[in-house]
Structure 1
């Protein structure tokens, strides 16, 4: 009896891919998303990568603010290197405009978001490709996976922000798309006695290598990403709970480990060289990050969350209106073939194991499970598609002979007369869900915390007006040698703006731009000098804490201490409106009167949303002019 091998599932066949939305249109959509995103979310958007990228692009004298993680080599330099290239390109290209032109600074400011918009578009595009690998490119489920991703409010709010999590999400879904899912498919072994098993990696080595390199990049960028890949590899090797769970051949396992070691070594080597260039010494941030967190236990310094945070808050915030489809799909994925069932089970196990592992860590944020969003969209897509559409045939199916004639006469990728057509149903619920998503995305993009970006735009424009000579230079790369001197020495000041607000409440040099625009903000460095579970750690109060605990004594005895002030008298003071009474009270003290400020004048006020989870950030953001320098604005 001749040996027979079962053909691979249709999910694995190479076929034309006709996306419902071209990649070009997705890029345009994300560019609009990036350019019209006018709100502040979290400091990491700017301090994780943009500040070190600014320093790389424009030099040590550019005024970038490097947070404590960079001084302790806890982050990979690959992320900042990516955006430093965008900064330098924008700086060179914008040189066609006259010196001091506002377009030049605007081009440099927006360049990281343009790059991130392209990265986000690739994430959307590869989400559809991953769904196509599972369900087929002409499946309604694949289309719904893409649309759920494009219309997701969290994706609109975060995908074009320069978080490391945003890049990690795109790298993860790309790696999942290239992953050889035949490893978890129903093994097509020969039924001939003593025959060799089918080599599931035959012809797939380059896809495997691409997947492993992308996965390794994601892990170097965010070490917790390894949780996803440990689950997938474990299931592929053990084939636990999978249909047709015959073990992989020993040769396949060896190939898998060989490629993992080679690809991992390549990416780690690239990362080490980049870090050597950036830090000026040999360093390996993933290892530093792990050992530092174990020895210092600093995660809790940024807040504690209950164990069920990701279940009751994280996943609902991540998925919003798709939650009713996501939750059942996690525990019972919808599949039509054994191969689909195995892939979907593997993806759901990867999600569940990652959520469980991250739930054991005290500090939790929705961003930490952001890389799971494309997987959740793929898992939920069949249920959403069946709920909102019904599939009918446009004409009776042709006979085998007529089908062959039609296939031969039509171009590749053209649908036959027997193609299915999906009709919408449950329209009120569909349009309600779309409306909720649009309202959420609109509010988060335009109305929730827009002041932190607006205030820096105001300060930058004021600096350009007051010190025009300081901005008349050909390239930002020359700014390391620029001083704030002007033709009128009476216009000089040591401190342009003082930020009296919770630390990192605004971006920094990535939006202030000019190094001569000197500014000071309250700091919140973690207590690196203390040990976990000690009274010293428990009683530690950073600079921002001390200000809000006792504002008047802090201003009198620390910030403007007689004989040893931390900062000189600024031109502008920036803060939320709740501190205005404190400032007035301070100016009536002997230390306040010594500053020479007779009265603070409001010169700018920015709306900052209808609510804020931090009471210190409630109300409008205000800029007060101290009135001590010439050229001050007088408008309210």
Structure 2
């Protein structure tokens, strides 16, 4: 039943297949907890080492998963008969190895000494720079995040929590701690709750297994009926334009018609070289955070005056990109400049029915013809 509940979650279909660290974090947490709670030899050294190793990997990928392991492994430590052996033989070796590997790899690729976990803590906790990407009130996950992400599974999860024996509430404690820690951070997103979906499915599945066959069938059919349309819409239709445009540009590049591309869109709007496999310059607006209170990011400078930014950034005609990608919201403001610079609209891709402040309903590609 937990598997069926998980497979009928619209947000799992929408988010889990995406190349997000949150998706990998959720998968690693699920695998580790599955081994931890189902292994017949939980106290064996091999089982603990495997779980600790996978758990450590999840922390290196997303340090927020440390909340899960502090609760799960901490509970086991409290109940352990020989706590010192548990720490010295399992916790400490895995922690040291994981820290060494993390620092060694990051330092090698950055070309300087780097402690990524410490940087993550400074960025998100000490300096709260995540707030530059948007803030929400402390209760946002409870009032909006969890209801949206869990959807129709939320009442089933809560009913499952009420019906399970108290000794099986550890996963619920994990979920609560995970939400509390994330609620303390000012920057919040729906995807941050993805690792909780498999845990919620466990309790939802437990509740479904306790009801009669007829009612169980009704519940499962209802989950399919309500979640399938949402899953299909969000996975195949909603915000698809930024992927469609990358496929188009990739095809154009294969035909030798792309020299460089400029994305005049909010930061992180499109994937880049994961979908565009060519040694061609792809430039997007920079939105790097800064500790300087007077700092104005490139993206804000552009949206403050798009025409002036383009004229200043590309004062020499030879520097102009062969292709420019924008949302339709900027079309009227930039069409005269594009005409003067000899750009013409070549493709329009549907993106979403729900446009936002800087995100339009369509993605437009302009091409410069005089090269």
TM-score of the two chains, using structure 1 as the length reference: 0.54
Q: CA deviation at 1:146?
A: 0.8
Partner in structure 1 of residue 48 of structure 2 = 208
- In the alignment, is the contact (CA less than 8 A) between 1:552 and 1:585 conserved in 2? no
2:288 aligned with 1:546: no
Q: d(CA) in 2 for partners of 1:294 and 1:305?
A: 15
User: Aligned to 1:604, what secondary structure does the other structure show?
Assistant: strand
Partner in structure 2 of residue 120 of structure 1 = none
Partner in structure 1 of residue 72 of structure 2 = 232
Q: CA deviation at 1:295?
A: 4.6
2:65 aligned with 1:302: no
Q: Which runs of 5+ in 2 are unaligned?
A: none
In the TM superposition, 1:49-60 aligns within 5 A as: none
Q: d(CA) in 1 for partners of 2:54 and 2:2?
A: 22
Match of 1:319 among 150, 168, 188: 150
| Greater than 4 Å deviation, 4+ residue runs | 180-183, 426-429
Partner in structure 2 of residue 290 of structure 1 = 121
Partner in structure 2 of residue 472 of structure 1 = none
Partner in structure 2 of residue 150 of structure 1 = 7
Q: d(CA) in 1 for partners of 2:7 and 2:346?
A: 40
Partner in structure 1 of residue 239 of structure 2 = 449
2:268 aligned with 1:437: no
Q: CA deviation at 1:156?
A: 1.3
Q: CA RMSD in A?
A: 2.6
1:65-113 CA-to-partner distances (Å, cap 9, x unmatched) read xxxxxxxxxxxxxxxxxxxxxxxxxxxxxxxxxxxxxxxxxxxxxxxxx
- In the alignment, is the contact (CA less than 8 A) between 1:180 and 1:208 conserved in 2? no
Q: d(CA) in 1 for partners of 2:26 and 2:35?
A: 15
Q: CA deviation at 1:224?
A: 1.4
Which has the larger share of helix?
2
**Quick one: structure 1 residues 319 and 547, their matched pair in 2 at CA, closer, same or farther if it must change by over 3 Å?**
same
Q: d(CA) in 2 for partners of 1:553 and 1:357?
A: 43
Q: d(CA) in 1 for partners of 2:218 and 2:199?
A: 27
- In the alignment, is the contact (CA less than 8 A) between 1:178 and 1:208 conserved in 2? no
Partner in structure 2 of residue 38 of structure 1 = none
2:60 aligned with 1:217: no
2:5 aligned with 1:174: no
User: Aligned to 2:358, what secondary structure does the other structure show?
Assistant: helix
- In the alignment, is the contact (CA less than 8 A) between 1:153 and 1:437 conserved in 2? yes
Match of 1:605 among 332, 344, 348: 348
**Quick one: structure 1 residues 256 and 542, their matched pair in 2 at CA, closer, same or farther if it must change by over 3 Å?**
same
- In the alignment, is the contact (CA less than 8 A) between 2:39 and 2:47 conserved in 1? no
Q: d(CA) in 1 for partners of 2:238 and 2:158?
A: 28
- In the alignment, is the contact (CA less than 8 A) between 2:208 and 2:216 conserved in 1? no
Partner in structure 2 of residue 499 of structure 1 = 263
Partner in structure 2 of residue 349 of structure 1 = 173
Q: d(CA) in 2 for partners of 1:519 and 1:181?
A: 48
In the TM superposition, 1:67-466 aligns within 5 A as: 144-179=1-36, 204-238=44-78, 248-249=80-81, 251=82, 253-258=83-88, 259-330=90-161, 332-335=162-165, 341-342=166-167, 344-387=168-211, 390=212, 423-425=213-215, 427-466=217-256
Greater C-alpha Rg: 1
Q: d(CA) in 2 for partners of 1:545 and 1:262?
A: 46
Q: CA deviation at 1:328?
A: 3.7
Count matched residues. Answer: 370
Q: d(CA) in 2 for partners of 1:181 and 1:428?
A: 29
- In the alignment, is the contact (CA less than 8 A) between 1:333 and 1:345 conserved in 2? no
Q: d(CA) in 1 for partners of 2:39 and 2:359?
A: 52
2:313 aligned with 1:559: yes
Q: d(CA) in 1 for partners of 2:338 and 2:170?
A: 64
1:190-243 CA-to-partner distances (Å, cap 9, x unmatched) read xxxxxxxxxx965x22111111111111112211111112222343445xxxxx
- In the alignment, is the contact (CA less than 8 A) between 2:103 and 2:115 conserved in 1? yes
Partner in structure 2 of residue 414 of structure 1 = none
**Quick one: structure 1 residues 274 and 320, their matched pair in 2 at CA, closer, same or farther if it must change by over 3 Å?**
same
Q: Which runs of 5+ in 1 are unaligned?
A: 1-143, 184-199, 239-246, 336-340, 391-422, 468-492, 630-636
Q: d(CA) in 1 for partners of 2:319 and 2:158?
A: 56
User: Aligned to 2:345, what secondary structure does the other structure show?
Assistant: strand
1:150-190 CA-to-partner distances (Å, cap 9, x unmatched) read 2211111122212111111111122212226899xxxxxxx
